[in-house]
Amino acid sequence: MENIQNRINCLRKELARHNNLYYDKNSPEISDSEYDSLVKELERLELENPLFASLNSPTQKVSGVASLSFERVKHSLPMLSLDNTYSQEETAKWYERVEKRLKNENIEFTIEPKIDGVSASLTYLNGALIIGATRGDGEIGEDITENIKAIQSIPHKLKINNPPAFFELRGEVYMNKTDFEKLNEDIIKADGQKFANPRNAASGSLRQKDAHITAERKLSFFAHSFGKIEGKQFQKQSEFLQFCKECGFVLQNDFKICYSLKEISDFMHVMSSRRDLLQYEIDGLVIKVNNLPFHNELGYTNKSPRWAIAFKFPAKQATTQLNKIRAQVGRTGIVTPSAILEPVALAGVTISHATLHNFEEIERLNVNEGDIVLIERAGDVIPKIVKVVKKEREGFFKPPHNCQSCGSEIVKESEGEVAYRCINPECPAQFRRHLIHFASRSAMDIDGFGSAVIDQLLERNKIKTLADIYNLTYNDFINLELFKEKKANNLVEAVVKSKRRPLSRLLFALGIRHIGEKSSEIIAKRFRNIEVLFNANVEEFTRIPEIGEVLALSLKKFFDNKTARRVVDALIAAGVSTTEPEAEQQHGTLFEGQLFVLTGELEHYTREQAGEIIKSFGGRVVSSVSKKTDYALAGADTGLKLEKAKKLNIKIINEQEFEELVKQ
């Protein structure tokens, strides 16, 4: 019994601490779902042990308090919270309870995003905004009128004739994802402490003593419910929202009226998959009975209405211990730190790794091995560390002095550069990474030639250069782990097949610094043959609109390098193709059947190159202007052709306009 009481007290204290971190400090240490499971545990213990129940327990109150730094405002009606569900099944149970209580099957429901922001109450007297307040403890909030007025999308006067005498609407103040990223970038530039998520950023920005700062932070507002209203009546939640729109508020597009559980479930599925595509963070959906007269019938519990439920999405953030920081060497020698975590469940999967980007990020986070960290996983991306919530070790993790693979010194190639590199061209870790890249799907696409195969072949000293891949035989493969006849034959075939990849793939596979898939394609289409690339100068590269100086210099450096020549020669000797086949109409039908005349000197292209582009979009270049000509592409120093084109009213475009057209 004593143990139970201790646990209850401990949970109450812990929850009060987390409430303070979340509502007042804007700096939570745990995710919403971790918080909710503490609440659930406390609720269960209190229910099973009524002796220890207390009205002061966090389970009986709306969380949050009004801080002393703002004037206090008493809400016209309490601002309640919502009960949460975490699954379709729990939501279905709520739905059935509502139907049963109302003894009615003709109930309409609304389903809206649950925006992860800060709730606020706005009071309009005869159409004029007079009070803006936070929720506080639900009874008393903070007066943040000036800050609320600084939010652009909140009207100071309702934009309707005959506004209600008293109108208190409630909603969520939030920050769009892009505005949040931008704000954090600015904060980092100013050496400040960045916000962990848009909700904290919105809360921090809203509760500024200086409303000018609030005005600078881009906040938005979304109306979702109301308090006391005099001089206007609504029958439905959807009517209320429509009225808000007429008054000048912006509504969310993702709102639906549903007439059955099936419709609700379908929309829940749709929104769960669209979550990451939205401009703002949502942590779930709110399902409400649309018919307002039913609200009174259903009534309220201590802290939430029975006519609404929040379906919460799996959390995106969780806390765990960072066990180790590993410094891995990539194929270009860049040493990238990554975090090995104590495995933790997050958004339906177990997470045991997180990216750390670079060593500057480690310094900024002030993170070290052993620290307790808040991690976040958005969409499919690898989780990242948001912040340290508890330091276990002094200072931050320093970059190692030597490459963990070859032992060479790790350096920053130039001051101002963020990345540390192992500059040993023979570093085995770099070569291993390069092999994986070379064989990967978007490079030479050697099916079955993944890291497991590569590791075994390296161990057996079967590959020392890229071209060695093409000397491998059936006998080299058949002895590998899990290889049988068929698999070995397939791999032989895949290696042979990869010899015929176009130049664009080979260029990408060679791993030239800064040259990605797209630029490899552009370069290959312009130069067609690797020998031309070996002889090209920087200017020839920069003439390509998409190739800037950095890329051009990198290409030049690569093709001037003797090792590159040796590598390519060995590949050629092994039978690897080094040309780009002519492809007709690669781009589509933008200029289908259109005739072009080229006149004057073009800045970025030779005549041939411009002709190629026109051809690839389905057009044709003709030498003289006639009535049939559709476009005259005019460069500098044009002559008679342009005069004639003007006379015949032919569409004349300059080089920039041409580029705009083909870019689309």
- The least CB distance from residue 355 to ligand IVH, in Å, is 30
- The least CB distance from residue 150 to ligand IVH, in Å, is 20
Indicate the DSSP class of residue 21: I
State which of residues 305, 333, 619, 635 lies at the interface with ligand IVH (CB under 6 A).
305
Using DSSP's 3-state secondary structure scheme, residue 162 falls into coil
Distance separating alpha carbons of residues 267 and 256, to the nearest angstrom: 8
Using DSSP's 3-state secondary structure scheme, residue 222 falls into strand
Residue pair 132/122 in contact by the 8 Å Cβ criterion: yes
The yes-or-no answer on residue 390 being catalytic is no
- The least CB distance from residue 81 to ligand IVH, in Å, is 5
119 binds ligand IVH (CB under 6 A): yes
Q: Which is nearer to ligand IVH, 121 or 424 (CB)?
A: 121
Residues 147-176 that bind ligand IVH (CB under 6 A): 172
Q: Which is nearer to ligand IVH, 172 or 476 (CB)?
A: 172
Closest to 111 measured CA to CA, from 302, 239, 286, 360: 286
Handedness of CA 357, 358, 364, 368 (dihedral sign): positive
Residue pair 386/316 in contact by the 8 Å Cβ criterion: no
Q: Which is nearer to ligand IVH, 112 or 540 (CB)?
A: 112
219 binds ligand IVH (CB under 6 A): no
CB under 6 A: which stretch of 26-34, 79-87, 195-203, 262-270 binds ligand IVH? 79-87
Using DSSP's 3-state secondary structure scheme, residue 477 falls into helix
CB under 6 A: which stretch of 76-84, 88-96, 427-435, 583-591 binds ligand IVH? 76-84
State which of residues 18, 75, 224, 641 lies at the interface with ligand IVH (CB under 6 A).
224
- The least CB distance from residue 298 to ligand IVH, in Å, is 12
Number of other residues whose CB lies within 10 A of the CB of residue 630: 15
Distance separating alpha carbons of residues 492 and 482, to the nearest angstrom: 16
State which of residues 18, 114, 275, 316 lies at the interface with ligand IVH (CB under 6 A).
114
Using DSSP's 3-state secondary structure scheme, residue 174 falls into strand
| Phi (first) and psi of residue 374, to 5 degrees | -95, 125
Q: Which two tokens stand for residue 433?
A: 């990474």
Distance separating alpha carbons of residues 256 and 264, to the nearest angstrom: 9
598 binds ligand IVH (CB under 6 A): no
Distance separating alpha carbons of residues 623 and 621, to the nearest angstrom: 7
CB under 6 A: which stretch of 90-98, 110-118, 349-357, 426-434 binds ligand IVH? 110-118
82 binds ligand IVH (CB under 6 A): yes
346 binds ligand IVH (CB under 6 A): no
Q: Which is nearer to ligand IVH, 296 or 475 (CB)?
A: 296
State which of residues 19, 33, 59, 81 lies at the interface with ligand IVH (CB under 6 A).
81
State which of residues 8, 15, 80, 175 lies at the interface with ligand IVH (CB under 6 A).
80
Residue pair 503/578 in contact by the 8 Å Cβ criterion: yes
142 binds ligand IVH (CB under 6 A): no
Distance separating alpha carbons of residues 601 and 439, to the nearest angstrom: 42
**The Cα angle at residue 409 between residues 403 and 415, in degrees rounded to 5:** 110
**What amino acid occupies position 230?**
E
Q: Which is nearer to ligand IVH, 175 or 439 (CB)?
A: 175
According to DSSP, the residues that pair with 167 across neighbouring strands are 124, 229
**What amino acid occupies position 58?**
P
CB under 6 A: which stretch of 77-85, 213-221, 443-451, 531-539 binds ligand IVH? 77-85
Q: Which is nearer to ligand IVH, 275 or 556 (CB)?
A: 275
CB under 6 A: which stretch of 4-12, 75-83, 333-341, 645-653 binds ligand IVH? 75-83
238 binds ligand IVH (CB under 6 A): no
Using DSSP's 3-state secondary structure scheme, residue 44 falls into helix
Q: Which two tokens stand for residue 202?
A: 């919105």
30 binds ligand IVH (CB under 6 A): no
- The least CB distance from residue 300 to ligand IVH, in Å, is 8
Q: How many residues bind ligand IVH (CB under 6 A)?
A: 14
Tell me whether residue 494 is exposed, middle or buried, using C-beta atoms within 10 angstroms of its C-beta: 0 to 12, 13 to 18, 19 or more. Answer: middle
629 binds ligand IVH (CB under 6 A): no
CB under 6 A: which stretch of 80-88, 495-503, 550-558, 654-662 binds ligand IVH? 80-88
- The least CB distance from residue 579 to ligand IVH, in Å, is 58
Radius of gyration of the chain (CA): 32
According to DSSP, the residues that pair with 338 across neighbouring strands are 326, 355
Handedness of CA 29, 33, 36, 41 (dihedral sign): negative
CB under 6 A: which stretch of 108-116, 385-393, 484-492, 602-610 binds ligand IVH? 108-116
Q: Which two tokens stand for residue 240?
A: 């209320």
Contact string (CB under 6 A) for ligand IVH, positions 246-285, x = contact: ----------------------------------------
Q: Which is nearer to ligand IVH, 199 or 421 (CB)?
A: 199
Buried b (16+ CB within 10 A) or exposed e, 383-400: bbbbbbbeeeeeebbebe
Distance separating alpha carbons of residues 372 and 279, to the nearest angstrom: 30
Handedness of CA 368, 370, 375, 379 (dihedral sign): positive
Residue pair 32/116 in contact by the 8 Å Cβ criterion: no
Distances (CA, A) of 370 to 31, 323, 345, 389, 421: 20, 5, 19, 12, 25
526 binds ligand IVH (CB under 6 A): no
State which of residues 32, 112, 179, 580 lies at the interface with ligand IVH (CB under 6 A).
112
Distance separating alpha carbons of residues 545 and 250, to the nearest angstrom: 41
According to DSSP, the residues that pair with 317 across neighbouring strands are 376
Q: Which is nearer to ligand IVH, 114 or 207 (CB)?
A: 114
Q: Which is nearer to ligand IVH, 226 or 431 (CB)?
A: 226
CB under 6 A: which stretch of 113-121, 177-185, 227-235, 451-459 binds ligand IVH? 113-121
- The least CB distance from residue 165 to ligand IVH, in Å, is 23
Q: Which residue's CB atom is positioned nearest to ligand IVH?
A: 119
CB under 6 A: which stretch of 14-22, 98-106, 303-311, 625-633 binds ligand IVH? 303-311
- The least CB distance from residue 271 to ligand IVH, in Å, is 12
State which of residues 63, 134, 220, 225 lies at the interface with ligand IVH (CB under 6 A).
225
- Catalytic annotation, pick one of 25, 74, 114, 499: 114
**What amino acid occupies position 425?**
P
State which of residues 173, 241, 310, 568 lies at the interface with ligand IVH (CB under 6 A).
310
**The Cα angle at residue 653 between residues 651 and 658, in degrees rounded to 5:** 125
595 binds ligand IVH (CB under 6 A): no
12 binds ligand IVH (CB under 6 A): no
Residue pair 193/187 in contact by the 8 Å Cβ criterion: yes
- The least CB distance from residue 36 to ligand IVH, in Å, is 10
The binding site for ligand IVH (CB under 6 A) comprises 80-82, 112, 114-115, 119, 172, 224-225, 286, 305, 308, 310
**Active-site residue list:** 114
